[in-house]
């Protein structure tokens, strides 16, 4: 019975850790997109802001890349910040990679 309870506890901790990392990365990507959109669409501002937020929140090596690009849907210009990260796995179960996007409208 103890091994089964240990496995369930490990699974719960793994899911909680994965959700926490995903929430942090999504928040940082959205913050970077907003910073880039507010600066007139300067993509470097969004990448720097995203990296700054993630540096204070996650361990080194979790984030593998941060990219930003402009997109246009009809007449609406947006900034898309994409963050590629690794999920810190306790066991060998679950996905190891995470890709999160943050979007914001470019302000005129």
Q: Note the pLDDT tens digit of each residue in 67-103.
A: 999 998 888 889 999 999 888 776 556 677 889 999 9
pLDDT at 74: 84
pLDDT tens by residue, 49-62 = 999 999 888 777 78
pLDDT tens by residue, 9-64 = 888 888 888 888 899 999 999 999 999 999 777 899 999 999 999 988 877 778 88
Integer Rg of the chain from CA: 17
Distance in angstroms (rounded) separating the CA atoms of residues 24 and 8: 25
pLDDT at 94: 61
User: Structure tokens of 40?
Assistant: 């007139």
Asked if 18 and 94 count as a contact pair (C-beta separation under 8 A), the reply is yes
pLDDT at 56: 81
- The predicted model scores a pTM of 0.83
Distance in angstroms (rounded) separating the CA atoms of residues 24 and 69: 21
pLDDT at 91: 56
């Amino acid at each position: 019975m103890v091994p089964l309870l240990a496995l369930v506890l490990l699974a719960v901790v793994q899911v909680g850790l994965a959700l926490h990392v995903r929430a942090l990365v999504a928040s940082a990507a959205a913050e970077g997109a907003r910073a880039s959109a507010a600066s007139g669409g300067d993509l470097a501002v969004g990448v720097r802001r995203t990296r700054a937020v993630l540096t204070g929140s996650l361990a080194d090596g979790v984030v593998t890349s941060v990219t930003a690009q402009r997109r246009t849907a009809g007449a609406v210009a947006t900034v898309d910040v994409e963050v590629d990260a690794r999920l810190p796995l306790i066991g060998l179960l679950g996905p190891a990679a995470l890709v999160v996007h943050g979007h914001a409208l470019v302000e005129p």
